[in-house]
Every structure is written in C-alpha cells, then in structure tokens.
Amino acid sequence: METGLRILLLTALLAMLPGCASWRHHKGQPPSAQKVPTAQSPDEAPPRVVEPEVARREIKVPKIRSSNIELGLFYGELSIEDFGAHPVSGITVAYHITEDFFFQAEAGRAEAGRTSFEVLGGNVQLLTESERRFTYYDLSLGYNFLPGEAFLGRGVAMTSAFYLIGGFGGTDFAGDTKFTVNFGAGYRVVPVDWLAVHIMAQDHVFQTSLLGTTKITNNLEARIGVTVFF
C-alpha cells in the first residue's frame, strides 16, 4: 500500500510540474526569448520634416465595480413536520453569474414545538430543548424564470423576477444532521440598484426515523427577506 501511495503522489507531482513551469514563464520571459531590435543605419532613417510636439494623452482606466453579490437576512414561518409551524430567521448569500442564473448559500434556524403525541401524553418529552433547534443550511442554484418590472403608480418602475431555486444541504434537528434537498420559488423586487426585497417559499425534504418509522419529511417554509447588492 505504502508503495502504491508513493507512486500515486509522485505521479500527481510530476503532472503538476508543467503547470509550475508555465507559471514561471507567465511571471517573466527568459531573456533569451526577448527579441533584440536591430539598429537601423543612419542612412536608412527617413528624414523628419516636422518634429511632433504633441504629447499623447495618457488615459487612466478606472476599474469598473462589479455588483454581483447579494447578502441579506430573512424572517418567516417554517412548518416542521410533526412539530408544528414556528418562526424561522436566517441569512442568505447569493452570487449572480448571468442574468438568468445565480448561486445561493443560506442558513436558517427555527425552534420546533411539541408533537401531538407529546401534547396528549402529558409529561412525555421526545426531545430535549437543544434537540428541538432546527438549523439548516443549503447550497442552491437559482433561475430567474420570469424577469420583469413592477410598477408603483405612474412614476416608479422597479426591476423584478420570479425565480426557481433548488439545491442540497444539511439539517441539524433532533440530535442528528440529515442530508436535505431544498426546492422552491421566490419573487424579487429591486427598488434601487443596491437593495432587493424577496418573498419566497421552499420545501426542505429529508429522511428521518425519529418517530419510529423511517419516512421522508417535508418542511415547508414561507418567508420575506431583504438583501443588499455588493
């Protein structure tokens, strides 16, 4: 095994060498590669009639600011299957790649209530207080499905988009973290270039065997959010 590992590492290292070499090449040309301009003899130089005295205008090109990152907070209601609907809040970060697609990472937290079994059973406690904390994160790809404009009266027009979103992540609930698939849709209005307001609904789906049988749970979330573009 040790020899196999050594060979594998060596192969990878060898394969990387050309990359390193081209980096050096990229940083600075070797002197031998540079062409030495041949001096022209004075006889061949064309006679100058007018000596131009106009200095060429130097253009300083200012950097163009990119505004593709969207950072914000949300607040809403999350219906945790068997544990009731409860307020949820969290943070989102999105990166707009093209006018159609964006990546989004988000994390949210809610406190689960009691199951009907616990309510009816009196002192029965299925979970401890810390296990009732429902924390999720996900990485998603969003698609601006119906871009458009929203109007406020005659004078105000705001760009907007109805978007679809889907991804995967993890949910920490009842003392375990489960692989979770999320999908949903939202509506984004951009009143000014740096600010956006979202209304969104999505489902977090994961498998659990918390209540005896293994089943797929659907945890629906509806929320509003405010984000800022950078």
Rule CB under 8 A: which residues touch another protein? 5, 8-9, 12-13, 15-16, 18-20, 22-23, 26, 56-57, 59, 61-62, 64-68, 71-73, 75, 87, 89, 91, 95-99, 101, 103, 105, 109, 111, 139, 141, 144, 147-149, 157, 159, 167-170, 176-179, 193-195, 226, 228-230
Q: How far is the CB of 163 from another protein (least distance, A)?
A: 12
Give the nearer residue to another protein in terms of CB position, either 4 or 47. Answer: 4
Give the nearer residue to another protein in terms of CB position, either 70 or 82. Answer: 70
| Torsion sign (Cα): 142, 148, 154, 158 | positive
The C-alpha atoms of residue 135 and residue 113 are separated, in whole angstroms, by 14
Q: How far is the CB of 62 from another protein (least distance, A)?
A: 5
Single-letter code of the amino acid located at 63 = K
Question: Bridge partners of 218?
Answer: 205
Give the nearer residue to another protein in terms of CB position, either 40 or 71. Answer: 71
Contact 160/190 with Cβ under 8 angstroms? Answer: yes
Closest CA to 199 of 150, 133, 126, 132: 150
Closest CA to 168 of 179, 156, 151, 181: 181
Q: How far is the CB of 216 from another protein (least distance, A)?
A: 15
The C-alpha atoms of residue 181 and residue 210 are separated, in whole angstroms, by 18
Coil, strand or helix at 221: strand
Give the nearer residue to another protein in terms of CB position, either 37 or 62. Answer: 62
Give the nearer residue to another protein in terms of CB position, either 5 or 50. Answer: 5
